[in-house]
Chains A and B, each alone.
Chain A
Amino acid sequence: MSLLTQYDADARSVRRATRRFLLIAVLLALALIAAIFVRQGLLRQTVSFSFVADSAQDIAKGQAVRIAGFRVGAVTEVSLRDDGSVAVNLEVDADHARFVTHDARIELRKEGLVGSPTLEIVPGPDKTRLASAQARLAFSRADGLGALANQVRDEFIPILKDIKAITGALADPQKGLPGTLAQIRASSEALNTLLANGNRQVDGIGGTAIRVLGKAEEDLKHLGQTMEAVNQRLPGMLDRTQQVLNHVEKITAEAETSVPPVLRDGSAVAADVREIVSGARQTWPISSMVDAPGPSTLKPDSDPRGEAGRAR
C-alpha cells in the first residue's frame, strides 16, 4: 500500500515538470518568431511609391532605396509594362516618408564609378507638400563610366581635328613654317642693314647726347641729394605733425566733453560760493562782525587821464 502511494506522488511530479517544460518551449518559440518578424520588417509600416524606367538595367527586386545615403526602403517589384517600359514599385519606411516631397525624383546611382547601383530619393525644392502613397515619382540615371567615356570622346575629337589642321598648315612649304622662316631670314638681313646705318647716325649724335646725359646725371645727383635730405627730414616732420595733430585732436575731443560741464560746474560753484558766503555773512555771529557795505565814495581825480599836462 505504501509502495503505490509513493508511485503516484512521483508520477504527479513528472507530469508537472513536463508541463512546465512544454510551456517554456512554446513561449521561446513565440519570442523567436516575433524577433524574426521584427528583424525582417514584417511588422513595420511602409509607404509605397513607384516609377517608370526605360530599362531595368541595374534595377532589381530587394534593391536598397536610400535618402541622403541612409537606407530607408527597398524595391518590391520590377515588371515590364505593355509599352516596353519598366514599372518599379518600392516601399519606404513610414517614418522616412516625410522626406519624400511631391516633386522628389529617384536617381539610379553607383557607389563610385564602378560600385553597386542604388536608388536614391532626391527631395524636390518644394518642401511644403509631401508625396501621397502610391505616387509615381520621376526617375533618372546618373552618368556611369560609359557615359563619361562618351563625353570625353566627344570633347577630344574636335581637338584632334584642330591639331591635324594646324600641323598641316605648318607643313605647307609656301605658307607654312618653311616659308615663314625664309621671310624672317630676309627681314633680319634688312634689319641688320638698318641697324648698321642707325649705328653710324647714333655715333654722330653720341657726343652731344653724352654731354647732355652727363649734365642730366649731375642734376639728378643734386636732386637725389635733395631728395635724400627731404627723405631724412620729412618722416620726422610728418611724425611730429601727426603727433601734434593727434594731441590737438585728443585735446579737442577731451575739451568737447570736459569744458562745457566744467563751465557749467564753475558757474554753479561760483553761485554756490556766493550764496554760502552771503549766507555766512548773514548768519550770527559772523553777521555781527562783518560790516555791511555802505555808500561808496571815490577819491577825487579831476584829471583821470592826465590830459591837462600836455596839449590841453
Chain B
Amino acid sequence: MRAEWLFASIIFLGACGSTPKPVDPPRLKAALEAESDGAKRYRRGDYVVAERRFADAMRQFASIDDSIGSTRNRLHLARTHLAQGRAEAALDLLGAVSEDAAGDIDALLLRSQALLALAHRSQAELVLATAERSCAAKCPQLPSLKILQARAALADGRAAEARGFAETAITLLGEKDQSAEAANAWRLTAAARLAAGDAAGGLTSAHAALDIDRRLALPEKIARDWLLIGDLHRHAMRNQVPGAAGEAAAAYSRALDVAHAAGLAEITPLAKQALLDLGDGKIPVK
C-alpha cells in the first residue's frame, strides 16, 4: 500500500514539475504512431508488418496533406521493399519521390540501391553522381554514398576503385554509430580484395563484416558473409594454401546451416552449389 502511494506521488510530482507538452491532432498522432510502429518492426527484421505500417502511415500523412511525412514514409516503404528483395517495387515508389524532391539525397541513394539490385549499373552511377553533387563535404549520407559508389565500381569490375570507396566509407563511419553500414563497407572491401586477387587481406575484411553482422543478428548477411569467406578460401587454394579447401567447405557449410535455419530460400541453393563445385575441384581461374 505504501509503495502504491509512493508511486502515485512520484507520478504526480513528476507531472507537476514538467512543462506541459503540445498535443498533436489525433490524425497526425495516428500517422506518427503507425510510422513509429513500422520503424520498430523494421529494426526487428519484421519487414512484412513494417511494410504494412509504413503504407498506412504514408496514406494517413497524405490524407492530412502532410507531404513531408508522406514522402518520408514512402522512403521507409521503399527501404522495406529493398530489404525483401523487391527492387522494382522500390523503384516505382522512388520514381514518384524523385519528382517531388529531386534534391533529397536519401531518395537518390535508395534509387541507386534499387538500380544496382536490378543490375542497372550505368543508371545507378548517374543517380550517384547527382547525389554526390548534392552532398556537401560533411553530408551525413556521405558514407552511404561511398558504399554505393563502391558497389557500382565493383559491379563494373573496377576493384581498386571499389576498394578505395569502401575504405573511405570505413574511415567516415569510424565516427558514427552505423554498424550495418560499417559491415557493408567491410564486406565490400573484402569483395574488392578478392576481385583484386588478395584473398588473405579479403579474409580479414570479411571476418570483420561477419563479426558486425553477428552482433546485429542479421541472418541473411551472416550467410552471405560465410559464402564470401568460402569464396576467399577457395581462391586461396590456387596459391596452394594448406587447408584452404577444408576452410572453404566449412564456410560454405556454415552458410548452408544459417540459410536452412533462417529459411533463406535464395541462399540455400547458392551454398549447395558452392559445396558441389568444391567437391568437383572447380578452382576459380584468374
Q: A: which residues have CB within 8 A of B?
A: 282, 284-289, 292-312
Q: Are B180 and A300 in contact (CB under 8 A)?
A: yes
Closest 4 CB pairs of A and B: A285-B15, A296-B39, A306-B221, A293-B36
Q: Which residues of A contact B187 (CB under 8 A)?
A: 303, 306, 308-309
Q: Is the CB of B83 within 8 A of A304?
A: yes
Q: B268 at the A/B interface (Cβ < 8 Å)?
A: no
Beyond A301-B181, A303-B184, is A288–B144 a contact (Cβ under 8 Å)?
A: no
A–B pairs, 26, beta carbons within 8 Å? A282-B23, A285-B16, A287-B21, A288-B14, A288-B15, A288-B19, A289-B15, A289-B18, A292-B23, A294-B32, A296-B36, A298-B79, A299-B181, A302-B151, A303-B184, A303-B188, A304-B180, A305-B224, A306-B220, A306-B221, A306-B224, A308-B154, A308-B184, A311-B270, A312-B116, A312-B154
Given contacts A285-B16, A303-B147, A303-B187, contact A310 B228 (CB under 8 A): yes
Q: How many Å lie between the Cα of A296 and that of B37 in the bound state?
A: 9
User: Which of A289, A301, A307, A312 has its CB near the most chain B CB atoms (within 10 A)?
Assistant: A301
B15 & A302 in contact (Cβ 8 Å cutoff): no
Which listed residue, A287, A298, A304, A311, touches B76 by the CB 8 Å rule? Answer: A298
Q: Does B11 contact A (CB under 8 A)?
A: yes
Interface positions of B from 162 to 205, Cβ below 8 Å from A: 178-181, 184, 187-188, 190-191
How far does the alpha carbon of A7 sit from the alpha carbon of B209 in the complex, in Å? 166
Q: Which residues of chain A are within 8 angstroms of B191 by Cβ–Cβ distance?
A: 308-310
CB distance from A5 to the nearest CB of B (A): 122
A288/B117 in contact, CB under 8 A: no
Q: With A and B bound together, what is the CA distance between A284 and B18 in angstroms?
A: 11
A284 to B69, CA, bound (A): 28
**A312-B85 in contact (CB<8A):** no
Q: Kindly report which residue of chain A lies nearest to residue B219, judged by CB atoms.
A: A306
A294 surroundings in chain B (CB, below 8 A): 32, 36
Given contact pairs A292-B29, A293-B35, A309 touches B206 in the complex (Cβ within 8 A): yes
Does A300 lie within 8 Å of B18, measured CB to CB?
no
User: Which of B24, B178, B213, B224 is within 8 Å of A307, CB to CB?
Assistant: B224
Query: Contact flags (1/0) for B66-100 with A, using CB distance below 8 Å?
Result: 00010010001001001101000000000000000
**Binary interface encoding of chain B residues 213-230 relative to chain A, with 1 for a CB under 8 A from any of its CBs, else 0:** 100001011011101100
Q: Apart from A293-B33, A306-B221, what are 6 other A-B pairs with CB-CB below 8 Å?
A: A288-B18, A293-B29, A293-B36, A297-B39, A300-B178, A304-B82
- B141, CB-defined interface residue at 8 Å: yes
- CB atoms of B16 and A305 under 8 A apart: no
Shortest Cβ distance from residue A278 to the other chain B in the assembled complex, whole angstroms: 9
Tell me, rounded to whole Å, the shortest Cβ–Cβ distance linking B136 to chain A: 17
Bound complex: CA of A159 vs CA of B224, how far in Å? 111
* Bound-complex Cα distance A305 to B113 (A): 11
Would you call A309 and B181 a contact (CB within 8 A)? no
Instruction: With CB as the reference atom, state the residue of chain B lying closest to A284.
Output: B15
Contacts A303-B187, A306-B220, A308-B151 given; indicate if A295 touches B69 (C-beta within 8 A).
Answer: yes
